[in-house]
Each structure stands twice: as C-alpha cells, then as structure tokens.
A = this chain, B = another copy of it.
Amino acid sequence: MAARLDDLRIALAEISDLGRARALLAWDERTKMPPAGAEARAEQLATLARIRHQRLVSDELDRLLDQAATETSGLPYESDEASLVRVARREWEKARRVPAELRGEITRASSLAEHSWVEAKQRSDFPSFLPHLERNVELKRRYAACLEGFDDFEHTYDPLLDDFEPGMRTAEVAAVLSDLRSGIQPLVAELADRSSAIDDAFLHGHFPRDAQARLAREVVEALPLEEDAWRLDPTVHPFATAIAPSDIRITTRFDERYVGTALWAVIHEAGHGLYENGIARELRRSPLARPVSLGFHESQSRMWENWVGRGRPFVGWLHPRLRRIFPEQFGVVDPETLHRAANKVQPSLIRVEADQVTYNLHIMMRFELEVELFEGRLELADLPEAWNARIADLLGIQVPDDARGVLQDVHWAAGSFGYFPTYSLGNVIAAQIWDAVRESLPDLDGQIASGEFAPLRDWLREHLYRHGAKFMPKEMLERLVGRPIDVAPYLRQLRERTAEIYGV
C-alpha cells in the first residue's frame, strides 16, 4: 500500500510545488518586481497556473486517486492518508471541469489587471480600469459556468464562493450577513453620537516611514512566528502568503499620516502567517498544507489583529513600545486612552482601516454588489455609482473619489470574486473560537499583557492550525467549537467591547 500512496504523494507534491512557485512569483510581483517586468510576469504566472492545472486534472492523477482510495478505505476519516485522498479528489473533480487554457488565461488577465488597477487607483481613474475588470468578470463567468452542477451548486455565485469557502453556499452567506446586519446596524446607530467623545487624534499626524517600519518589525518579532521563517516587506495592498509553512511572507503599507495602518494591518497579516506556519510538518507539499478556507484564514488574521491586538492586555503591552518609538505623539497618551482610540467606532471610507463594527457593513455591500454583478442585475460601468450610493446609505458618508471608493481594494483586479464575504465569516468564526480559547486558557489576558503569545498560538496550533485543510470548514468548526456557524458570540463580544469603550 505504502508504495502506491507514495506515487500519489509525489504527484501531489509536484502540484503543490507549482502552486508555491506561483505564490512566490505573485509575491515578487507585488513587492519587488521592476515595473517593466509586468508583461513577462503575467505570462510566467499563466504558464505555471496552466501546467499546475494540467497536472491536477490528469488521468494519471485520477488513477492514482482511485488506487489510493481503495487502499485507504479502512483508515479513519481524520487520518492524514484518508484526508489526503478525500481532499485531493474533490479538488480534482472541481478542476477537471475547467479547461487549462481558461485557468491560465484567468491568471494572466488578473496579473495584468492588477497593474492597471495600481495605476488607476493612483489617478482615481475607474474608466481606464474598466476593460480589465470586464475581462476578469467575463472569465469568471465562464469559470462559474464550467462548474455548473458540481456538488449541488445552485447559484451562479456558488462556484466562486466555493473556491474560498469550500462547501459554503451563497444563500448561507446571505443569511449570516443578514443576521449580522440586524445586530450591527442598531449598534452603529447607538454609537453614532458618542464617537466624538473618543479621542484618537494622536493616531493621526506625522509618523515617519522608517520609524513605522521599526515598530512593525518589533511587533511581528514579538509574535510567536517560527524564527527565521518569515519576512516583512512594504507593498501597495497588504497581504500575507506562504511560499512554504516555514517561509512566510508578510507585507504591509505605511501611511505617514496614520500609524494605525501599519500597526494593526501588520498584526492582521502576521495572523495569517501564524496559521500557515502552524500547519503540521507531515502535511507539507500536499493539498492539505493550507488553511481550511479563507473564512478560517481570516478568522485568524482578525483574531490576532482585533481580539488580541486591540484588546486591553495587548494595548498595555504595546503602549511603552509606541511611546519609545514615537515619544512626541504618545508622550501624554495613557494606555486606557490608547485602548479607547484603538476601538473607536466611526463610519469611514476605507475597509482596511475600518473599525471592527462598521467593517462588516463594508463587506455586506461588496458581497451584494458581487452577487448582483454575477446575476446580471448590475452593469460594471455602473459600479462606481452603485458603490457610492450604498456607502451613503449604509455608512452615511459621501465617497469623494473612486480611489477611496470602488478602486480601493485589489480583490476585483486580482479576479478574486467570492473572497470578500470570507472576511465577515472570519469575524464570526473568530468570535466562536475566542469563546473556546478563553475557556481553555484562563490566564490568557495576563499572558498577553506580558507579551507571552506562545500559549495562545499553541492552543490554536493544537486545535486548528496543525490540521491544515484536512476538514471542510463546517466540519472544522464543529470539531473546534461543537456548533455550526453562529453570529451570536460575535455580536455579544462586539457589545462587550463597545461597552468597555463607550460605557453603554
């Protein structure tokens, strides 16, 4: 048996290597590549995507999977071997329906679109970006059409969502987001008049880039990532990626007028990194060596950013460090004031800078726009107008230009339709996990306050990270917290946090 299973492992390891190579090319494209390299890079990325796809959908892999399925049929569901065959088979089934040419073209087009987006955003010029966006949507429509009927997909958006949140359906996401909206909109209304009482002026001002870079590095170094297994680079739109579980690339951007971006965004990306870094060594070079889903991935980035990073214990730990690097701005700010500022709720334009409460409203409107686009109820040319109308409606603010509106995020340029809702799913899942963590680690606050982050990481490793993608998101959540997805813990925790801050 071992010999046959080894053949499967080797074939899957090559597919994994091709995916990781592609990840490195994408990381380089966004952090290091000279601009003139863009055209060649798009071709290189497309070739890797195409070849990976060809290997993934091959008859040879089909045969290896069949043999391995027979051989592993007696093993427990949660064994590495049975999980490998199960997860790889689902991936094969899905990929098999998509032509390699289309797979490559999606990659090529989105690589070019991203460069167009960077320039369009700089000039706040949506029309110049529109043809790229149209191409991305057209290709994703064709992609979704290929997957019609797979795994009981019902909605045209289901296949897109499934790429990020396997097994989750459009209707389920809509229900979760609707529950969230019911809980959040009253909270936002309640806090509307109280935000002016919270002083966060000291987070704004002038923060030299070099000093911010030192701060960001110091914060990431304090987090429990494996030594010598990560690096931190500046970029336009922050992201994290894993070239291997022991080769984590965190990126961030620095806004010299606002220190919050580099500070909490870098913890967010490090949270992604901690998850990838914690995947069991035994799963490396396999399709199991990745997080369960984007929702789970985001649950961890958001947990480290918000539950840890904006919590009172962490803010207490952070305070002397901030004060040392920026003595002028933080000289007279006490930890309590910093904590209140870090959790101020106030509608704003930019998703990645939004507070924890209104953040979800940013996600809801993006999800609705995506669904309407793919249902054919909204034209791409009308997107800026629709965007601005919804921001006015949901958040009560006017969008001054497309750079701070429809062009603010990289996702649509990157062809990542179906990604946005995973941010709110991540919030909801993070809250459910946080309840479980707190029950298991009674001294968590004390540990965080003294900069001991390893116990939290170890708990998350043991219960979540090490399993990689062995389980579907719904299975994983049941295993972790014994319940299906539920917005109640998140809404309760948001109310607890705002009560701390606002006293309501």
The chain A residues found within 8 Å of chain B, CB to CB, are 13-14, 17-18, 20-21, 24-25, 28, 32-37, 39-41, 43-44, 47-48, 50-51, 226-231, 243-248, 284-285
| A231→B21 contact, CB < 8 A | no
Checking B18, B36, B227, B284 against A247 with a beta-carbon cut-off of 8 angstroms, the contacting residue is B36
| A55, closest chain B residue (CB) | B51
> Which B residue's beta carbon lies closest to that of A20?
B44
Name the contact of A243 in the complex, choosing from B13, B20, B40 (C-beta under 8 A). Answer: B40
Is A40's CB under 8 angstroms from B28's CB? Answer: no
Are the C-beta atoms of A226 and B32 separated by less than 8 Å?
Answer: no
Q: 9 A-B residue contacts at CB 8 Å?
A: A17-B44, A21-B21, A28-B28, A34-B230, A34-B231, A34-B246, A37-B243, A40-B243, A41-B247
Among B33, B36, B47, point to the contact of A18 (Cβ < 8 A): B47
Top 4 nearest A-B pairs (CB, nearest first) are A37-B247, A40-B244, A17-B47, A36-B229
CB closest residue in chain B, given A244: B40
Inter-subunit contact A248/B34 (CB<8 Å)? yes
A244/B17 contact (C-beta < 8 A), A24-B25, A36-B229, A228-B36 known? no
- Contact (Cβ within 8 A) A25 B36: no
A478 to chain B, nearest CB (A): 32
The one of B17, B50, B248 in contact with A48, judged by C-beta atoms closer than 8 angstroms, is: B17
Q: Could you say which of B18, B32, B36, B227 contacts A32, with CB atoms under 8 Å apart?
A: B32
Q: A37-B247, A243-B40 are in contact. Are A47 and B14 (CB under 8 A)?
A: yes
Name A247's closest neighbour in chain B (CB-CB).
B37
B244 touches A35 (CB 8 A): no
Chain B residue numbers with a CB within 8 Å of A230 are 34
Bound together, the chains give a CA A35 to CA B18 distance in angstroms of 20
- Contact of B246 with A18 in the complex, beta carbons under 8 Å: no
Other CB < 8 Å A-B pairs besides A18-B51, A33-B243, 16 of them? A17-B44, A20-B40, A21-B25, A21-B48, A33-B231, A34-B228, A36-B227, A36-B246, A37-B243, A37-B247, A39-B244, A40-B245, A40-B247, A41-B244, A41-B247, A43-B285
Residues of chain B contacted by A40 (CB below 8 angstroms) = 20, 243-247, 284-285
A5 CB → nearest B CB, Å: 18
Q: How far is the CA of A246 from the CA of B39 in the complex (A)?
A: 9
Residues of B contacting A47 in the complex (Cβ-Cβ under 8 angstroms): 13-14, 17-18, 21
Interfacial chain B residues near A244, Cβ < 8 Å: 37, 39-41, 44
- Kindly list chain B residues whose C-beta atoms are within 8 Å of the C-beta of A36: 226-229, 246-247
Report whether A51 and B20 are in contact in the complex, using a CB–CB cutoff of 8 Å. Answer: no
Residues of B within 8 A of A24 (CB): 24-25, 28, 44
Q: Is the pair A35, B231 in contact by a Cβ cutoff of 8 Å?
A: no
- Would B25 and A43 count as touching, CB distance under 8 A? no
Q: How far is the CA of A13 from the CA of B39 in the complex (A)?
A: 14
**How far is A226 from B33 in the complex, measured between Cα atoms in Å?**
14
Give the residues in chain B near A32, CB-CB below 8 Å. 32, 231
**A226 contact set on B, CB distance < 8 A:** 36
Cα distance, A47 to B14, chains bound together (Å): 6
What residue in chain B is nearest A23 (Cβ atoms)? B44
* Cα of A48 to Cα of B20 in the assembled complex, Å: 11
Q: Roughly how many angstroms separate A500 CA and B421 CA in the complex, as a whole number?
A: 72
Residues from chain B with Cβ under 8 Å of A25 in the complex: 21, 24
- How distant is A113 from chain B, measured CB to nearest CB, in Å? 19
Shortest Cβ distance from A26 into chain B, in angstroms? Answer: 11
Give the distance in Å from the alpha carbon of A48 to the alpha carbon of B15 in the complex.
10
The distance in angstroms between the C-alpha atoms of A21 and B23, with both chains bound, is: 11
Find the residue from A37, A51, A228, A248 having the highest chain B CB count within 10 A: A37
A35 nearest in chain B by CB position: B228
The chain B residue with its CB closest to the CB of A46 is B17
Q: Which of A25, A229, A284 has the most CB of B within 10 A?
A: A25
CA distance A361 to B36 in the complex (A): 40
Q: How far is the CA of A305 from the CA of B25 in the complex (A)?
A: 31
List residues of chain B with CB within 8 A of the CB of A228: 34-36
With the chains together, A51 CA to B229 CA distance in Å? 27
Bound form: Cα–Cα A20–B14 in Å: 18
Set of chain B residues within 8 Å of A13, measured between Cβ atoms = 43, 47
Q: A14-B47, A47-B14 are in contact. Are A229 and B37 (CB under 8 A)?
A: yes
| Inter-chain contact B34/A17, CB cutoff 8 Å | no
| CB-based nearest B residue for A227 | B36
Contact B37 A21 (CB under 8 A): no
Closest Cβ–Cβ distance, residue A287 to chain B (whole Å): 15
State the CA gap A244–B51 with chains docked (Å).
20
- A34 surroundings in chain B (CB, below 8 A): 228-231, 246-248
Query: In the complex, how many angstroms separate the beta carbon of A274 from the nearest chain B beta carbon?
Result: 14
